[in-house]
């Protein structure tokens, strides 16, 4: 297999992947250059970080069967187009959670103590203790976490050490033992969280439903002097509305992500952080620690190794979540043609197979196949299978409602 890596990726990970096949390392590729590179290399597997993967790129290499996002979010990949072409899309969830949580806490602390402004004045030779020797302090404040996935939970762990009270909101109920372990209280909705928080930190993926989840109306609900931290994905927060709220003196903010941010490592970028003093910003570096990059590299390698060796894709994000109505469990002798005969019998019944696995028992004499589908085969078909000399047992199971 040929693996095209179209973003920065550690040499240690590239060395391991080279044992599986050819690796082409092109970290300089832009979204516009990617289709040509895929067409030229005829890559089987594509690894990206922030580079946009369009439908045109996916169509450029007919052998392409797997795209791995070396990170968590997959909003830069056209997953719908990948699904239409039968291309797996996988990510590495949670591997950068600690790194992003650390930056989140760094922004909270920096804003409370105005570290950036104090440093800049000192660099210009100004000692201004009277101005910067004032801070509210974090202990006893309430931190509201929008979303409660792995990153938000790592933030909660660190925030508790600073004496912050933790609230969270999410669309799904969180198990009481998970809340207790993180010292968090789940509130009914986003409005309730905004009303009760001194600091709001956003940790949800970007989707159409989440576009400007935090906009002018939501920011208006925050108490004067509150802080907004955004380290998730550009577009979840309305940058202009946030900048206006900070400019007015009502809020402070720390951002690591922006709407329309550049995809590359260096570029000209006019953004809201240049206009507002109480808005601290970093150029989407939340996951950029050596520890996180190493963990993500290891996970990318694990995903590709599993796919190449066994056809299993860990963390695939574009699979149909529909549960099949029936499963057929067939214990059989491990002989040539047995599985083909089973599938032929189902084909004659016009049963469309949706999933299949086959496990070989120790000794290599017998195996067990599990086949899933929507329409049940007839009793006659099942009996023909049971009568086959190489089939040991046949069981049709209906999925529970």
DSSP strand pairing (251-255 vs 353-360): unpaired
From the candidates 153, 203, 252, 261, give the one annotated as an active-site residue: 261
**284 labelled catalytic:** yes
Cα–Cα dist 356/315, whole Å: 18
Cα–Cα dist 118/178, whole Å: 39
Cα–Cα dist 278/116, whole Å: 10
**332 labelled catalytic:** no
Helix, strand, or coil (residue 274)? helix
From the candidates 233, 252, 315, 332, give the one annotated as an active-site residue: 233
Q: Judge whether 5 and 23 are in contact, CB under 8 Å.
A: yes
Residue 47's contacts (CB-CB under 8 Å, 6 or more residues apart) are 3, 4, 5, 6, 7, 9, 67, 68, 70, 300, 304
Residue 249's contacts (CB-CB under 8 Å, 6 or more residues apart) are 224, 278
Query: 51-57 contacts: CB < 8 A, separation 24 or more?
Result: 51/6, 51/7, 51/76, 51/263, 52/76, 52/77, 52/263, 53/77, 53/78, 54/78, 54/81, 55/81, 57/31
Cα–Cα dist 33/178, whole Å: 45
Residue 108's nearest CA partner among 216, 185, 198, 186 is: 198
DSSP strand pairing (366-373 vs 326-333): antiparallel
**259 labelled catalytic:** no
Cα–Cα dist 372/20, whole Å: 31
Cα–Cα dist 160/224, whole Å: 23
Start-end of H helices in 114-183 = 115-123, 129-132, 150-161, 176-181
Read off the DSSP letter of residue 363: T
From the candidates 182, 284, 315, 332, give the one annotated as an active-site residue: 284
Cα–Cα dist 200/228, whole Å: 5
What are the catalytic residues?
233, 261, 284
């Amino acid at each position: 297999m040929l693996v095209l890596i179209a973003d920065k990726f550690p040499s240690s990970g590239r060395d391991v992947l080279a044992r599986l096949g050819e690796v082409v390392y092109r970290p300089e590729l832009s979204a516009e250059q990617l289709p040509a590179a895929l067409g030229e290399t005829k890559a089987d597997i594509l690894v990206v970080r922030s580079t946009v993967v369009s439908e045109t790129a996916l169509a450029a290499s007919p052998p392409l069967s797997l795209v791995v996002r070396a990170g968590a979010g997959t909003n830069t990949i056209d997953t719908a187009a990948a699904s239409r072409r039968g291309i797996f899309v996988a990510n590495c969830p949670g591997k950068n959670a600690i790194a992003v949580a650390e930056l989140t806490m760094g922004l909270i602390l920096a804003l409370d103590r105005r570290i950036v402004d104090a440093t800049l004045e000192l660099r210009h030779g100004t000692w201004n203790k009277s101005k910067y020797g004032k801070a509210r302090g974090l202990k006893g404040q309430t931190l509201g976490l929008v979303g409660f996935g792995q990153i938000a939970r790592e933030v909660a762990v660190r925030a508790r050490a600073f004496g912050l009270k933790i609230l969270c909101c999410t669309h799904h109920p969180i198990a009481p033992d998970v809340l207790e372990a993180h010292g968090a209280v789940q509130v009914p909705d986003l409005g309730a969280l905004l009303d009760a928080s001194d600091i709001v930190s956003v940790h949800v993926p970007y989707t159409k439903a989440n576009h400007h989840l935090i906009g002018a109306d939501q920011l208006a609900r925050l108490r004067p002097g509150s802080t907004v931290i955004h380290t998730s994905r550009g577009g979840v927060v309305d940058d202009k509305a946030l900048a206006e709220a900070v400019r007015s003196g009502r809020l402070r903010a720390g951002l690591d992500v922006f709407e329309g941010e550049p995809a590359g490592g260096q570029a000209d970028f006019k953004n809201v952080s240049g206009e507002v003093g109480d808005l601290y910003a970093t150029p989407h570096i939340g996951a950029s620690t050596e520890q996180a990059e190493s963990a993500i590299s290891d996970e990318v390698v694990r995903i590709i190794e599993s796919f190449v060796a066994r056809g299993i894709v860990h963390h695939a994000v574009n699979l149909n979540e529909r549960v099949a109505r029936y499963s057929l469990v067939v214990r059989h002798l491990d002989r040539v043609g047995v599985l083909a005969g089973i599938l032929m019998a189902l084909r004659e019944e016009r049963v469309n197979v949706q999933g299949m696995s086959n496990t070989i028992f120790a000794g290599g004499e017998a195996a067990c196949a599990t086949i899933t589908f929507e329409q049940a085969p007839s009793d006659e078909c099942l009996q023909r299978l049971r009568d086959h000399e190489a089939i040991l047992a046949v069981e049709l199971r209906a999925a529970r409602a």
